[in-house]
Amino acid sequence: MKVAVVGATGMVGTIILKVLAERKFPVTELIPVASENSLGKEIAWQGQTYIVQSLENALSQKPDLALFSAGGECSLEWAPKFAAAGTTVIDNSSAWRMKADIKLVVPEINADQLTATDKIIANPNCSTIQMVLALNPLHQLYGLERIIVSTYQSITGTGVKAMKQLENEEVGIQGAMAYPYPIYRNCLPHCDDFTSTGYTKEEMKLVHETRKIIGDKSIGITATAVRVPVMGGHSESINVTFKSDFDMSTVRKTMHESEGLVLQDNTDMCTYPMPKYAEGKDAVFVGRLRRDESFRNTLNMWVVSDNLRKGAATNAIQIAESLLAKKIL
């Protein structure tokens, strides 16, 4: 299979290449694509050297699959061109997620909706992916009524500039700032741009994308997204109210048996999810399960996942694997 990776030299693109190799995705020809600044550079993959190409060159080769991770503007301009050439595009940006005719996919939840006519498929936001993967199995049992989520998001979600800012601040070097304030020994209640309502775009992604993926516009959702000086992954404190009451033993059993989830919930042994230990893994880790004693049918949980893997690269490749399994790619 001829596969183009658009944004191949970026943070997520690098992980995409790594995960393609790890999962033995059937790549017969790789086309790494990046911005003009990276054209002509060499990258090594699977024992071979590849030259980074332009979008025009990649399009002319009509790849079977294009994995986009180069920002929304690039995706809006180029994804339709690749799709028109017969390429299936899986896009990591926010550009296509809320378009009515574009599928927004977490494979464990809604890959069954994919068809051969889906030539542009949206990969959800990283913080959304881990939340819906943890909540959907319980939604099937009890029905989601309301979600209150606070996120503790890794600086890797911002990119290389943020990582460099943290590294500089740790050793007292004054350098370029990815954030309006220091991130070292600090937390910023500010992920993405603020909207006119006072919520950030990141917070509203959790609202709108969750409803679309699960397929229920009636779910009440409110979010607070916070950037923390952490590398390994995103963490979320979730307070969820169900339409019907639940049994804690059934909740734990369901979490333990659900695809893509790892239950880490033994407070006697201080066992709970942490981003330090989620880094480099594809699972979504769930723990601190406990009934909210202040409100009916309500559960608290703590959810952690590597935002560059399941939150981006791995989920995108799992979408492609789903298409292969359905014989539509």
Instruction: Please confirm, yes or no, whether 126 is among the known catalytic residues.
Output: yes
**Residue 149 shares a structural domain with residue 74:** no
User: Mean pLDDT over residues 168-187, rounded?
Assistant: 97
Question: What is the tens place of the pLDDT at every residue in 224-265?
Answer: 999 999 999 999 999 999 999 999 999 999 999 999 999 999
Residues 201 and 106 in one domain: no
The answer on 163 and 46 residing in a single domain is no
With 90 as the cut, is the pLDDT of residue 198 above it? Answer: yes
Q: Does residue 234 carry a catalytic annotation?
A: yes
Catalytic residue among 74, 139, 191, 234: 234
Strand partners for 242: 144
Helix (H) or strand (E) holding 75: helix 72-84
pLDDT tens for 257-305 read 999 999 999 999 999 999 999 999 999 999 999 999 999 999 999 999 9
Sign of the dihedral defined by the CA atoms of residues 209, 212, 213, 219, in that order:
positive
For residue 63, give both structure tokens. Answer: 């790849």
The per-residue pLDDT for range 128-167, each reduced to its tens digit, is 999 999 999 999 999 999 999 999 999 999 999 999 999 9
Across the strands, what pairs with 29? 2
Specify the pairing of strand 65-68 against strand 88-91. Answer: parallel
- Give residue 19's domain range: 2-124+312-325
Residue 120 shares a structural domain with residue 261 = no
pLDDT tens readout for residues 35-85: 888 898 999 999 999 999 999 999 999 999 999 999 999 999 999 999 999
pLDDT at 37: 86
Are residues 47 and 77 both part of a single domain?
A: yes
Q: Which of 74, 126, 139, 191 is catalytic?
A: 126
CATH of the domain at 170: 3.30.360.10
Residue 314 C-beta-side C-alpha neighbours within 13 Å: 20
18, 10 contact by CB (below 8 A): no
107 shares its domain with 19 = yes
Q: For residues 176-186, give the mean pLDDT.
A: 98
Q: Residue 56 belongs to a domain with what CATH number? A: 3.40.50.720
pLDDT score at 36 = 86
Residue 63 DSSP code: -
Residues 21 and 86 in one domain: yes
CA angle (174, 179, 180) in 5-degree steps? 85
Distance CA(124)–CA(108), nearest Å, equals 13
How far is residue 329's CA from residue 319's CA, in Å, rounded to a whole number?
11
Model confidence over 106-129: pLDDT tens digits? 999 999 999 999 999 999 999 999
In this structure, are 12 and 146 located in the same domain?
no
The mean predicted confidence, pLDDT, of the chain is 97
Does pLDDT of 103 surpass 90? yes
| 110 plus 244 within the same structural domain | no
Q: Are residues 165 and 283 in the same domain?
A: yes
Distance (Å) of CA 92 to CA 96, 217, 315? 9, 23, 9
- Cβ 39 vs Cβ 58: under 8 Å: no
**Cα dist. 281→106, 149, 154, 284 in Å?**
17, 23, 15, 8
pLDDT band at 221 (very low <50, low <70, confident <90, very high): very high
Domain count across the chain? 2
